[in-house]
Amino acid sequence: MAGFVVHLLLVVALVFVTWKYLRLREMTSGEGLPDLACLQGLSSLLDTAEGYASPHAAVVAAEAEAIGRHLGLAEPTLLALRLAALVHDAGQINLPRDLLKKPGPLNPEEWFLVRTHPLIGELALRQALPVLSEIPSLVRWHHERWDGTGYPDRLLATEIPLPARIMAVADAAAAMAQARPYRPARSEREITAELASQAGLQFDPEVVQARTASRGG
């Protein structure tokens, strides 16, 4: 329990410092949009904690932004989407490292722990980012499924906000592109085929189509 609290406080502290930095840059730049460099650094720290050998959150953010632009999202929504994607797995810093690197299937207790990470991430972000309330919600819902069997709230189809549906596709695509202890990396062709097979089940079909189109497919 002590380790859990320490890790949660670390996430809160990091995101709070990041938020303060972005607010300062926003107030002094006069451009109205925050600099993402600090959040990108935070995302790299989270990737390392999760055991990724190469950038994951930054890839998710780029994928999500490309899909969002293809779907015509407004700039403020695109910014919230990118920020949320950069810290979408903040809650995983509380999970045991060997759990994230486990080569075989997870048992029910381990799955329960894994499914807490969107809630933990949301909690940390709500404490640190009260003004940007959309971002914690997107982190909470990025594992919801189109067919209503996702977690933590089992939202169905368009009950899931569009940016969260976009994050789900971007996160899955980025994860499949990287090798993990239990499977090799997949090619772009394999990723496209897998996403298409889950359109209407795990993913919003329109978002899957938008990803393919945004990549020139």
Farthest CA pair distance, the chain: 51
Are 57 and 82 in contact by the 8 Å Cβ rule? The answer is no
Instruction: List the domain range (segments joined by +) for residue 13.
Output: 2-214
Q: Render 160-214 in DSSP notation, one character per residue.
A: S-HHHHHHHHHHHHHHHTS-BTTB----HHHHHHHHHHHBTTTB-HHHHHHHHHH
Cis peptide before 152 (omega within 30 of 0): yes
> Radius of gyration (Cα) for the chain, nearest Å?
17
On the question of pLDDT at 151 being above 90, the answer is yes
User: Tens digits of per-residue pLDDT, 175-201?
Assistant: 999 887 677 899 999 999 999 999 999
Cα dihedral 214, 193, 46, 117, rounded to 10, equals: 110
User: Tens digits of per-residue pLDDT, 96-125?
Assistant: 666 666 667 778 888 888 888 899 888 878
Q: Please list, in sequence order, all residues whose beta carbon lies within 8 angstroms of the beta carbon of residue 202, skipping any fewer than 6 positions away.
A: 145, 146, 147, 150, 168, 172
On the question of pLDDT at 30 being above 80, the answer is no
Confidence of residue 6 (pLDDT cuts 50, 70, 90): very low
Instruction: Give the separation between CA 211 and CA 217, rounded to whole angstroms.
Output: 8
Share above pLDDT 70 across residues of the chain, in percent, rounded to a whole number: 67
**DSSP H/E element including 152:** none
Q: DSSP class of residue 107?
A: P
Instruction: Give the separation between CA 84 and CA 198, rounded to whole angstroms.
Output: 23
Q: Between 13 and 129, whose confidence is greater? A: 129
CATH number at residue 200: 1.10.3210.10
Residue 130, classed as helix, strand or coil, is coil
Instruction: Give the separation between CA 195 and CA 198, rounded to whole angstroms.
Output: 5
What are the structure tokens assigned to 166, written together? 């976009």
Give the range with max mean pLDDT: 1-10, 67-76, 130-139, 172-181.
67-76
**Dihedrals phi, psi of 22, to nearest 5 degrees:** -65, -40
On the question of pLDDT at 41 being above 80, the answer is no
The total number of structural domains in the chain stands at 1
What are the structure tokens assigned to 190, written together? 């394999």
